[in-house]
Amino acid sequence: MKPKHFILLVIPIVFLNCKSPNIALYVGTYTKGDSEGIYRLDFNTKTGILSNLQLSVATDNPSFLTYSPDRTYMYSTNGTGNGFLSSYKVNNDGSLTILNRVSSEGKGPCHISINNKGTKIAISNYGGGTVSIYPIHTDGSLKEASQVFNHNTNNETSHVHSAQFFKDDLFVADLGRNAIYQYVLNNDAYKLKHEAIVKTTGNPGPRHFALTKDVNYIYVINEYGASITSIKRTENGFELIDEDNTLEPTFKGFNKCADIHLSKDERFLYGSNRGENTIAVFKRDITTGNIERIQNISVHGDWPRNFTIDPTGKFLLVANRNTQNIAVFSIDNTSGKLSFLHDVKVPEPVCLLF
């Protein structure tokens, strides 16, 4: 009897792309109450769900956060006493290890930014009215400040509230002196180029600002004025092109604006109102730079100090300090308008970082 022959069929197994849709969201907080420092959550980029709240590192009042360009290191302001800033190593499990701390060279550090080379950091000191520049060691730790700019004068008290790098330029918003300044890099040192890039009237209180990718337009949210100042770059510098209110006409209560961000495609602009407790949504003309308010939506909480747009551009997340929650909204890609999805409890959130 002849032996039976069996044909072995080799069926290839196709492995589907099982990459998790979850990414890390880090939360800077005030630690006067239940918070212990910087927290981390998992954010699902398909559903917008936040989960798995964990303390990444215990530290005092880490009120503003930023990554190094390669996301290997993180940096925070720490608004205690005279203030300091901290550097951290981002570990594989999402925890943070403190590398070092240095003085912020001014009271009330409230904002931190890093240049695109990952070689310099700028700190805005609200209480001290100074901007401090820090070189970064190759191991991610911070050197002492190499430059400190004091914006106070005999006649005006400075409250520097934010600074952002663009290539070799540094733009600074001074809420106390109602001005946006431009510094330029010269022989590895920054020098003031414009005393104020545009003139302002009254006491609007410029706080934060959003830059278009080419920096042909700058949008400044004014804390006291409940407005957004639109600025255009010209051949000779900059000019003010528009001023728009962030509030519904029917709202007559106390309000302080806080944060501002452009959508990924720069067709929409978003600003936070503390008091009205809304996100104001603006449609942006990409040709003229003009904006038009199209929506004010409740943040489902109180005192929205900071908000962010996730890397996909599909979701907007708001940190509500007083109600200690983070609210998640979906973004309509066509209209730019927001729809509330859900919220999660987090102790005293004041800064969100993807």
Question: Would strands 22-29 and 349-353 be described as parallel, antiparallel, or unpaired?
Answer: antiparallel
CA distance 318 to 352: 8
Q: Which pLDDT belongs to residue 80? A: 81
Per-residue pLDDT tens digits for 179-199: 999 999 999 999 999 889 999
Query: Which residues in the chain come in under a pLDDT of 50?
Result: 1-17
| CB 208, CB 173: distance < 8 Å | yes
Residue 320: how many CB atoms within 10 A of its CB?
26
Length of the chain: 354
Q: Which pLDDT belongs to residue 19? A: 74
Helices (H), the chain: none
Q: Which pLDDT belongs to residue 82? A: 86
Domains of the chain with bracketed CATH? 69-83+95-197 (2.40.10.500), 198-298 (2.40.10.500)
| CB 104, CB 82: distance < 8 Å | yes
CA distance 240 to 260: 18
Q: Which pLDDT belongs to residue 194? A: 80
CA angle at 112 for the pair 236 and 61, rounded to the nearest 5° = 150
At residue 8, what is the residue type? L
Q: Which pLDDT belongs to residue 8? A: 44
| CB 169, CB 185: distance < 8 Å | yes
Q: Which pLDDT belongs to residue 11? A: 43
Query: For residue 76, which of 90, 65, 91 has the smallest C-alpha distance?
Result: 65
CA distance 109 to 113: 12
Q: Which pLDDT belongs to residue 174? A: 98
Q: Which pLDDT belongs to residue 18? A: 55
Per-residue pLDDT tens digits for 6-40: 444 444 444 444 578 999 999 999 999 999 999 99
Rg (alpha carbons) of the chain, rounded to whole number? 22
